[in-house]
Structure 1
């Protein structure tokens, strides 16, 4: 830039304009020589008010403006002198001398001054525009955006406080502390302001830009705030406060540890903001500025109120989730079995991965003929509604299992029930939010038969178990996945039967991700055959330890079962043809077997009568071959199988009828009875308690 032409004098108008710029312009104007010393400057700018011109002329520019952040400003100005390339609108932070010194933001532009045909470098013309308020506004907007983006992502009040501290330090405060009412952490309703005396707060987050910041109280400590202090006052009237910190403040003796931490960190200003929502107090945010940082001003206080309002809403959402989750978990705990039932041929243990969600369930049920049913399932949704739906479906499964249905038929009936529940939900009032949540569920239902060494399985969804056999082979049964329960789909359910030799371990889970991981890479399951005598609960723990943190699996309910051998002397069976003499033979052999088992006379007599009546019915209404089987387990089970498909019918015979009382007599003598259809016909069974079980 040419500074002037030596052959052409400066006219009066130009001179007057220059004089006006240097005496009245609000823009900072500076003329620097080639050594970056001040030749002339505008003392009318706010930054130079009260400064004498004679005190600044001839001094290096670094002594006029103390650079706070941009320490290489002199290097940049030298580059402008050397290259002639202007510097445009560079933002620098500088500290203006005063009591106390004030930090300001300036937008700096610098141009080289030249004269003559072969330019002679005279120095620099520098403009400095004070943009402090603009930059502070931008910084506040950036902090507000960061808080809105980062705070509230986790439904945990403590984590929410950590997110706020991370967003505020060091961009807005040098030290930030979040304290939350202890009852709010547990999910209770926040107390109305002013807080009752003795209300406990938990320090959930602490952040500082210092290397070894002093802390009055550790994170996680629950304590009552002493008072009166600015902290208790903010929780009383729910108003923020900017408090300059002085050693002589009258409230400081009430909280010595906190005051000591303030002095050790060289804090000079406190901004305390209540976490409030609908006139209730959830906690407190304490912000400090230390050292050379500027004190909090009115704009900072207004911003802090917005940040606290967003954080309070996030904490309240987390509190509501915790409360709902606690209620749902309590309901689930009451609906699920506390401990596995005892089965002679199947040892079972229950497991929850990450604390199974309220829609997950597991169950084991004792069936007739020494068999055991194993069930896992998972209902969509969360909270109390999922727990309630889970309880309904679990009850239906238990009720249907009493009818001795095959797994595919039971799931078909369960599917109908789930569809009815989904229809009821879809027809709730328009304002009910549950109406918009679809009701679907996955379920696996399996029946283990120790006498045949097989397991019969059907699934709704992809919940097939992992099977580890004694020969160290691991597999997932190839079971066709039926439709999820409750969906508008009428696809049939399929049943798969597979062998489970004695000593096999079966793992049923309500989450396919857990099943897939265990089947592919789980070390504990691959060593499962070595757990022949080890408690199953220890295997459950090993499975939890083996699951990777990043698996992405949700909460899962798990059943682990280990098969045992059924004593060979605990059952007996005989086959008969269509000869009516078979009735007497079956009765005699039954008596001999019961005598060998030491069954009491009354039970033995009743059992012989039951066998006689059931075999007679099979000969009359069924088809050969006829098989009689006795099972001596927790109950005395009597089974009569024939090849006919006709359903037996319990009826009350009239006085003049000569027959029709057989099944009625058997039902009266037995504690329970039923009919189970198999591939080769049907089986009528009865159960009687043994003498020790009465």
Structure 2
């Protein structure tokens, strides 16, 4: 700014270097001649010769009327001869200042203004003449100087070399609030107390600025000075000031000139515009209602108000929409409050003050208060130093914001009210967005809680722990899933899957797949067959979603490309059967600490079809650890999948008695900071073996006597287990199941009892036809046995195998 000012001032000096404020009638430079009492020229100056063209020998001794005539006698049609008789050339009269017509030596005429000085003696008058055009220019200069001194809105002041005031114009006197006679000789820093220069790169005091100008001669332009105007105490003003050194004709320094213009209104408008820009940048950066209210308070204080309070309807914090009538006093929550101590010194652009925030709490306003009136009317209310503006978005009142300015500071004028209204409007939109997000996120999390198991009940077959990390951290939902499904015969189904995509669409698709698996699993079909049925379902969904031209109309809602791993573990045989559809195989850690990934046939992802799925059966010792996971755990942009699998194997191989702790270590090692570029599901399963003393199995012939043998075997076993209370019911169940097997099936029969959390009874045969529960008519001789069995058990069903089928039942154990 200083360099640009120097160039501008230098150019101004060159452009106006020929300006002479002495005036054309100054006797030292003007055309003059002397006349006696008879109006005979007796003296002639060189300037007169230059103006009129006559030399001294030509004009001295001639009557003045030979070249100068009154303006009324001027005749511009013909030139008058130089030599004329007194009768032909009347002598002009000479008042103190008048307009005359002069005849130049070459004959042209020009208008002159005369000024006369009367003398005593032979030379009675000295006449000073000047061209009328030059005089008019000089008069305009004088008018300009007079206007600068008396009428200009710019303040002008002159300080001597000691930086003390020696002169100021009327505008400066008005600012100072005292006449020049009272303030003459005062230093600038005392005339404007508590003021300071706020332009970067310059000293803060005016005295130091003037000293710099006096010493260097470099002018300073557009220097911003902030302070209180003496005639308007308590209010801060901003001036744009310029300083330049004053010198006389000989180059001696006389002092420094100051011109200043009050730009407080422009500064305030710019400051308010900057405030709106800052609010647009800082308010609404998060989708949190309380954080948004805090951001508004932080922007407003102290730049716009000394204190601010943001009150919201209580339902807004929960993501709901307030009633159409708007929030009442009892329904408001103080979302944010910020204040700054009022300082006596002026607040500059870089001023900042500490703020105090409060935790949300209920707030009520008394009847008649500005806030109560704003709530009642729905409009803004201005009362003294308090401005209350409602927060409205989409036609709904969300709350209100209260701005407070200390007494003595700038009041809320029309411009400030408009800025406050705009701030509240912008904040209301951000708060409403945060409210909508809160509601949508709550709905998404509710959906996620319904789609994923939040709690897995204890299971005698396995001990489990799990983790789920969605990529969409904002909504908290994704397309990966896991499940643990209790099956018949104390077995358990383990499943983990991955749906392509993220967010609600992927979560909804995942929910349908998980529900389908839970519906198919209790049918006790093999894992490869379950995946085949799941693949058929996904393929049918893709066909329905496609339009007649083959384009996928609902591609966002189709699970084509989803992967799944399904395993069934039997704690009695300690064998695990598993199959996968394009999914990663599980990690298996043996009790000794060895970790391996079984060579499980991959199979195509769900929905592609065309290839069969294959199962693999492995035997697991009690205490083995299975890790089922999605690819988001082991694969990332900066790590290939092989390295991720090696890291997983290393972490699983570490000793850990707690599966929860092991889950945390796996996540911490593979996903530092719990950040993931893909949805991640992890299911850790530690197998258990069912004690052989809790399992009893027998082979029976497919003959009518088998029912009686079965009743005897069951009764004896239940007595050994201390379950005599269940003997009668179990005899009835076994008798019915064995009788049906003998009547409708072939080959040997197998009877098994399992004492677990329930009493499991199984009858297996080589047939593949399952009995069906039905209502028998009054005249039917059979068909009531299975109906009676169903009333005596918790649940029952049929499980198929390669060798036939098993009919199973579960009974509740006696209390204690």
User: After TM superposition, is the score higher than 0.5?
Assistant: yes
CA distance in 1, matches of 2:411, 2:374: 19
State the SS of the aligned residue for 1:530.
coil
Question: Deviations 1:159-215 (Å, cap 9, x if unpaired)?
Answer: 22112122222332232221111122123321234644x532111112233499898
Counterpart of 2:391 in structure 1 is: 275
Counterpart of 1:363 in structure 2 is: 483
Q: 8 Å contact 1:357–1:555 — kept in the other structure? A: no
Counterpart of 1:28 in structure 2 is: 155
Question: Deviations 1:281-328 (Å, cap 9, x if unpaired)?
Answer: 211212223377423322121111112122222222322333344445
Quote the offset at 1:345 in angstroms: 1.4
Q: Which has the higher contact order (CA 8 A, sep 6+)?
A: 1
Compared with structure 1, are the counterparts of its residues 201 and 479 closer, same or farther at alpha carbon in structure 2 (3 Å cutoff)?
Answer: farther
Counterpart of 2:522 in structure 1 is: 402
**TM-score normalized by structure 2?**
0.62
Among 337, 362, 374, which residue is 1:222 paired with? 362
CA distance in 2, matches of 1:437, 1:137: 50
Compared with structure 1, are the counterparts of its residues 300 and 6 closer, same or farther at alpha carbon in structure 2 (3 Å cutoff)?
Answer: closer
State the SS of the aligned residue for 2:221.
strand
Counterpart of 2:762 in structure 1 is: 637
Equivalent residues in 2 for 1:599-678 (5 A)? 600-605=730-735, 616=746, 630=752, 632=754, 634=758, 635-638=760-763, 648=768, 671-676=796-801
Q: 8 Å contact 1:193–1:279 — kept in the other structure? A: no
Counterpart of 1:566 in structure 2 is: 690
Matched, 1:57 2:184: yes
Counterpart of 1:78 in structure 2 is: 211
Q: What CA RMSD, in Å, does the superposition of the two structures yield over aligned residues?
A: 5.3
Quote the offset at 1:143 in angstroms: 1.9
Counterpart of 2:492 in structure 1 is: 372
Equivalent residues in 2 for 1:235-384 (5 A)? 235-244=375-384, 269-290=385-406, 293-330=409-446, 333=449, 339-348=455-464, 357=476, 362-376=482-496
Compared with structure 1, are the counterparts of its residues 233 and 34 closer, same or farther at alpha carbon in structure 2 (3 Å cutoff)?
Answer: same
CA distance in 2, matches of 1:287, 1:202: 17
Counterpart of 1:181 in structure 2 is: 313
State the SS of the aligned residue for 1:402.
helix
Q: Based on CA coordinates, which of the two structures has the bigger radius of gyration?
A: 2
CA distance in 1, matches of 2:243, 2:482: 76
Gaps of 5+ in 1: 245-268, 428-433, 576-580, 619-626, 642-646, 653-664
Q: 8 Å contact 1:176–1:206 — kept in the other structure? A: yes
State the SS of the aligned residue for 1:172.
coil
Q: 8 Å contact 1:610–1:666 — kept in the other structure? A: no
Aligned residues: 620
Matched, 1:209 2:334: no
Matched, 1:131 2:271: no
Quote the offset at 1:95 in angstroms: 1.8
Counterpart of 1:260 in structure 2 is: none
CA distance in 2, matches of 1:135, 1:493: 76
Mean alpha-carbon deviation: is it higher for 138-147 or for 13-22?
13-22
Quote the offset at 1:424 in angstroms: 6.5
CA distance in 1, matches of 2:596, 2:149: 88
Counterpart of 1:140 in structure 2 is: 272
Compared with structure 1, are the counterparts of its residues 64 and 425 closer, same or farther at alpha carbon in structure 2 (3 Å cutoff)?
Answer: farther
**TM-score normalized by structure 1?**
0.71
CA distance in 1, matches of 2:609, 2:187: 84
Quote the offset at 1:473 in angstroms: 6.0
Mean alpha-carbon deviation: is it higher for 137-146 or for 538-547?
538-547
CA distance in 1, matches of 2:813, 2:221: 99
Q: 8 Å contact 2:587–2:649 — kept in the other structure? A: no
CA distance in 2, matches of 1:414, 1:687: 25
Counterpart of 1:448 in structure 2 is: 569
Compared with structure 1, are the counterparts of its residues 115 and 387 closer, same or farther at alpha carbon in structure 2 (3 Å cutoff)?
Answer: same
Compared with structure 1, are the counterparts of its residues 484 and 130 closer, same or farther at alpha carbon in structure 2 (3 Å cutoff)?
Answer: farther
CA distance in 2, matches of 1:669, 1:46: 111
State the SS of the aligned residue for 1:26.
coil
CA distance in 2, matches of 1:98, 1:514: 74
CA distance in 1, matches of 2:750, 2:666: 43
Question: Deviations 1:224-248 (Å, cap 9, x if unpaired)?
Answer: 322220011111112223332xxxx
CA distance in 2, matches of 1:9, 1:239: 61
Q: 8 Å contact 1:631–1:637 — kept in the other structure? A: yes
Mean alpha-carbon deviation: is it higher for 544-553 or for 274-283?
544-553
